[in-house]
Amino acid sequence: MSKERARRRAEREAEQARQAALRAEREARLARRRGRVGRVTALLPRRPVRVAVQGGIMARRRRAQNGLVAVLFLIVQVIAWLLWSSWTARLGVLVLSVLFVPLFVTLVFDRRS
């Protein structure tokens, strides 16, 4: 009976030693890989810090309003481009649009009143 237990213990210990050797080889391979990756990434430029986009209801509303203003500005410019062939008229519409966009935004989207 004790010879049988000794044989099983020897088998268990041999299996544990084999598993430990495999684990040590895997860890050594992983350490070498991490070293290579670390050396390569040290040569690369750092990425800029990303700024998180606000997700609240006010931020979504502001983005929608800004998008609407931009689309309306582009529509006015396209209409002016199609209606007048004179560069002076097109430039005049552009200048007036740039001047009146802040006024439009204040009158339409101002929430203070």
- 6-26 pLDDT, tens digit per residue, is 889 999 999 999 999 999 999
Q: Are 99 and 91 in contact (CB under 8 A)?
A: no
pLDDT tens for residues 90-102? 999 999 999 999 9
Instruction: Report d(CA 28, CA 12) in Å as an integer.
Output: 24
Q: Are residues 12 and 32 in the same domain?
A: yes
Q: In the listed set 12, 31, 51, which residue is the last one of a domain according to the structure?
A: 51
Q: Are residues 12 and 41 in the same domain?
A: yes
User: CA-CA distances (angstroms) from residue 84 to 62, 68, 73, 89?
Assistant: 33, 24, 17, 7
The pLDDT value given to residue 113:
56
pLDDT tens for residues 42-88? 888 888 877 777 778 888 888 899 999 999 999 999 999 999 999 99
Mean pLDDT of 30-43: 90
Q: Are residues 91 and 61 in the same domain?
A: yes
Q: Are 80 and 93 in contact (CB under 8 A)?
A: yes
Residue range of the domain that includes 37? 1-51
Q: Are residues 62 and 42 in the same domain?
A: no
> Which residues, other chains included, contact 36 with Cβ-Cβ below 8 Å and sequence gap of 6+?
none
Please give the tally of structural domains in the chain. Answer: 2
Q: Are residues 43 and 75 in the same domain?
A: no
Q: Are residues 45 and 88 in the same domain?
A: no
Orientation angle between helical segments 57-83 and 87-109, nearest 10 degrees: 160
Instruction: Report d(CA 93, CA 84) in Å as an integer.
Output: 10
pTM of model > 0.75: no
Q: Are residues 69 and 87 in the same domain?
A: yes
> Which residues, other chains included, contact 113 with Cβ-Cβ below 8 Å and sequence gap of 6+?
none
Instruction: Report d(CA 57, CA 49) in Å as an integer.
Output: 24
Q: Are residues 5 and 45 in the same domain?
A: yes
